[in-house]
Amino acid sequence: MLPKTLCFFNSNKAWGGGEKWHFENALLARDKGYSVCVVANATSVLADRLEKEQGIRLLRVPIGNMSFLNPFTLLRLVRFFRANAVQAIVMALPSDMKAGGIAARLAGVRDIIYRRGIAVPVRNSFLNRMLFHTVITKLIVNSVETKNCVLKHNAGMITEDRVHLVHCGFDVAAFDKAPVAPMVARKPGEVLIGNAGRLTPQKGQKLLIDAAALLKEQPLPFRILIAGTGEIEAELKAYAAQRGVTDVVEFLGFVSDMKSFHAGLDIFALSSLWEGFCYVQVEAMTLEHPVVAWNVSSIPEVVMDGETGYLCRPEDVRCFADRLLELMRDESLRKRLGENGRRRIIENFEMKKTFTDFENCLNA
């Protein structure tokens, strides 16, 4: 039986894929007739965005890793859950699972769900075993890779029937309606390859620069556009200069209008060494761009090798460059793989479909 009142609990201060999931699903639940409340950190982007929304009851509260030991915090959460007659709660972080999960149990919440959005094992600690055995009723994972990884250190921490796969959803209709403004002028005959993400070792942009150096050995004009900022920005720019590719690799800095960024591309190069879901590849596929990526973590659950793009053995830069070159040379191939990619997003990752999967979890 579906609950009538849902609580989304996410205390992360910054904005990322997990916060996007909680924000969008809270609004979708509200629009589908659920009574919705949200617990967010006292100072957080998620709370700031929800303040502007009607029909969402919001509690701002400082939550940290040790908040579950604070009786005043627990009491405040218990009162909030009881006052709003919460029947199901979905939590985002380990700290949320501790403070929110224990408070929800004390408040008599029927369904206490922990959503894991990153393919990193849960520590096999006494506290985690206690939480999974006596507090958490269900575990949501955002990919098969996350499911396989999360219980690596203790497969018996939660039974298989309580683990539910709910992919991150993407609002294709809203993305299609968003306007597009020209961002980069294309040079005659040039193929534009895009990459977007925080400039950090995880995102693998240094390998993409290596691929650019290989692509420069052929005559076809191209440019790689890298959107994002991060802690290794200066290092990457210096590396591009060292490899002699500053004429074909352009750093755009922070880009807020991602649809316009993607709209100007021919190919999307996902150089990440691991990902949870990675919205940027979904955006690219929605705009019918083929994706070249590493065959790692959850990426193969979205990109189908040879059908919507290409997957390469991790850090095999020669393969990566060869696949990009194959697409650069063949516009009809780009078109076919791109059309397949958009179809795959609509059929498997469209927001309404993934919300139905979420409801199936609630009803289990």
Write the CATH number for 262.
Answer: 3.40.50.2000
pLDDT computed for residue 253 by the predictor: 96
pLDDT of 3 higher than 90: no
Q: Quick one: 152 and 251 in the same domain? A: no
Q: Quick one: 156 and 295 in the same domain? A: no
pLDDT of 259 higher than 80: yes
Lowest average pLDDT, out of 111-125, 195-209, 312-326, goes to 111-125
Q: Quick one: 344 and 357 in the same domain? A: no
Find out whether 51 and 311 touch, Cβ atoms under 8 Å.
no
Q: Quick one: 179 and 107 in the same domain? A: no
pLDDT computed for residue 150 by the predictor: 85
Q: Quick one: 125 and 28 in the same domain? A: yes
Q: How far apart are CA 344 and CA 59, in angstroms?
A: 37
Q: Quick one: 206 and 260 in the same domain? A: yes
Closest by Cα among 157, 94, 202 to 149:
157
Q: Quick one: 287 and 149 in the same domain? A: no
* Mean pLDDT for the stretch of residues 289-305: 95
Q: How far apart are CA 270 and CA 262, in angstroms?
A: 13
User: In the structure, what pLDDT confidence band is assigned to residue 22 with cuts at 50, 70 and 90?
Assistant: very high
Q: Quick one: 215 and 283 in the same domain? A: yes
Query: Which residue would you say has higher pLDDT here, 119 or 319?
Result: 319
Counted domains in the chain: 2
Range of the domain at 214: 175-348
Q: How far apart are CA 92 and CA 10, in angstroms?
A: 5
pLDDT 10s digits, 156-189 = 889 989 999 999 999 999 999 999 998 898 999 9
pLDDT computed for residue 178 by the predictor: 96
pLDDT of 1 higher than 80: no
pLDDT computed for residue 277 by the predictor: 79
pLDDT of 154 higher than 90: no
Q: Quick one: 149 and 232 in the same domain? A: no
Exposure of 170 in the CB half-sphere (CA atoms within 13 A):
23
Would you call 196 helix, strand, or coil by DSSP?
strand
pLDDT 10s digits, 99-108 = 999 999 999 9
Q: Quick one: 194 and 103 in the same domain? A: no
Lowest average pLDDT, out of 193-202, 269-278, 287-296, 330-339, goes to 269-278
* Mean pLDDT for the stretch of residues 209-229: 97
Q: Which two tokens stand for residue 121?
A: 């094992």
Q: Quick one: 155 and 236 in the same domain? A: no
* Mean pLDDT for the stretch of residues 84-110: 97
Q: Quick one: 323 and 186 in the same domain? A: yes
Contacts of 83 (CB under 8 A, 6+ apart): none
Query: Which residue would you say has higher pLDDT here, 316 or 364?
Result: 316
pLDDT computed for residue 121 by the predictor: 86
Exposure of 35 in the CB half-sphere (CA atoms within 13 A):
10
